Amino acid sequence: SWTTTSVVEEQVAAIRAQVGTKRAICALSGGVDSSVAAAIVQKAIGEQLTCVYVDHGLQRKGESEQVEKDFVAATGVQLKVVDAEERFLTALAGVSDPEQKRKIIGREFIRVFEQAQAELVAEAGAEGEEVAFLVQGTLYPDIVESGGGTGTANIKSHHNVGGLPDDIEFQLVEPLRQLFKDEVRMVGTELGLPDAIVQRQPFPGPGLGIRIVGEVTKERLDLLREADAIAREELTAAGLDREIWQCPVVLLADVRSVGVQGDGRTYGHPIVLRPVSSEDAMTADWTRMPYEVLARISTRITNEVAEVNRVVLDVTSKPPGTIEWE
Ligand code: XMP
């Protein structure tokens, strides 16, 4: 019968048999799937695995640290961090169109990852070793869906760590391909990963880059990071993390509205809160969350985040709205 222990043991044996004495690499995003996939492969082959984390500068507050410190501490994995913030910001400069942003972020990600990959292959070659395997956090529903085609597949060009180029000459290691999301979380816990990683809500591959309506700049990202951190902190404190599927926090960088603070007039940007309830993200409804929690988030964001003088609530279901604004 199915137990997380038996799944882990079975996969560890299968990975060892598949990889042998060769080396494997894995692109870590900080998400549940790539983290659990990497952790199980690490358990199987230890130092034969190297993880690559592309820091594109579009993460939420504390997210890079979660990968670079917490994940490494929990697994002992060998991690190569690529600081690519400047590269991504340069590529995104002057771009406001959502699809263009998505394409640029996806393209830059692949380029940066391929470069890191080539470096690892060369280093291993110099040691007389061969990098032959690429670890991917593919789940059972991913396999089913990519065969059938989903309703939203063509609405936005999705970017995630699973969407790496197919022309690479690696063999795939996909230890989660028989599992559903809730099973992946259980396996992650069994492997000793912290709840902050295992219970993480969905977060899009292009990160905060598609939560700024308008051009993406470092200043705007920092501002959004602060607002988002406050919202997440208050939602967690109110015990709403399970009830809410995810809550995008969006900066309307191209919009300004008049406000008042003390004796003075302000002219700042609105922040949108988009809490949704959903089963699978294909459809969603806006979450009827307590007014007191909304009030706390609003007060804190307008007090603590300079440039933001208004907080608004998105009360649109999906369809017709999508969960993300871009
Ligand atoms: P939408 O906005 O299409 O989002 O209703 C549905 C779900 O997908 C997430 N999302 C993404 N996830 N790469 C991802 O890995 C992406 O490019 C991407 N775009 C949206 C979104 O957060 C929601 O959970």
Q: What is the pLDDT, as a whole number, of residue 188?
A: 98
Which region among 117-126, 161-170, 207-216 has the lowest average model confidence (pLDDT)? Answer: 161-170
pLDDT-derived band at 151, boundaries 50, 70, 90:
very low
Q: At residue 219, does pLDDT exceed 50?
A: yes
Same domain, 184 and 297: no
Nearest CA to ligand 1 atom 7: 281
Q: Is there a binding annotation on residue 32?
A: yes
With a pLDDT cut of 90, the percent of the chain lying above it is 90
Residues 102, 247 within the same domain: no
Q: How many CA atoms lie within 13 A of 160 on its CB side?
A: 15
Tens of pLDDT along 251-280? 999 999 999 999 999 999 999 999 999 999
pLDDT beyond 50 at 18:
yes
Nearest-CA residue for ligand 1 atom 24 is 202
Q: How confident is the model at residue 143 (pLDDT cuts 50, 70, 90)?
A: confident
Structure confidence by residue, pLDDT tens digits, 152-202: 446 788 887 766 665 568 999 999 999 999 999 999 999 999 999 999 999
Cα 303 to averaged position of ligand 1 atoms, centre (Å): 30
Question: Is 30 among the annotated ligand-binding positions?
Answer: yes
CA-closest residue to ligand 1 atom 10? 204
Look at residue 204 and tell me if it is in a domain.
Answer: no
60 and 183 within one domain:
yes
- Which residue has the CA at smallest separation from atom 21 of ligand 1? 204
Examine the domain organization and report whether 183 and 242 are in the same domain. no
pLDDT tens, residue by residue, 228-240: 999 999 999 999 9
Kindly state whether residue 78 falls inside one of the protein's structural domains: yes
- Ligand 1: which residue has its CA nearest to atom 3? 322
What domain range includes position 97? 4-198
> Are 223 and 179 part of one and the same domain?
no
pLDDT tens digits, 56-95: 999 999 999 999 999 999 999 999 999 999 999 999 999 9
Taking the CA of residue 246 as reference, the ligand 1 atom at the shortest distance is 24
- In a domain? residue 206: no
The 3-state DSSP composition of the chain as helix, strand, coil percent (nearest 5) reads: 45, 20, 35
Indicate the residue among 141, 170, 198 that finishes a domain.
198
Ligand 1 atom closest to 202 (CA): 24
Number of structural domains (the chain) is: 2
| Predicted local confidence at residue 167, as pLDDT | 59
Across the chain, mean pLDDT equals 94
When comparing pLDDT for 156 and 32, which is higher? 32
Domain end among 136, 171, 198: 198
- Please name every residue paired with 276 in a beta bridge, in sequence order, or none if there are none: 246, 286
pLDDT value at residue 152:
47
Q: How far is the CA of 227 from the centre of ligand 1 (A)?
A: 20
Section 125-138 average pLDDT: 96
Contact at 8 Å (CB) between 150 and 41? Answer: no
Q: Using an 8 Å Cβ cutoff, are 70 and 194 in contact?
A: yes
CATH number of residue 76's parent domain:
3.40.50.620
The annotation status of 34 as a binding-site residue, yes or no, is: yes
Q: Report whether 7 contacts 187 (CB < 8 A).
A: yes
Q: Which atom of ligand 1 is nearest to the CA of 152?
A: 3
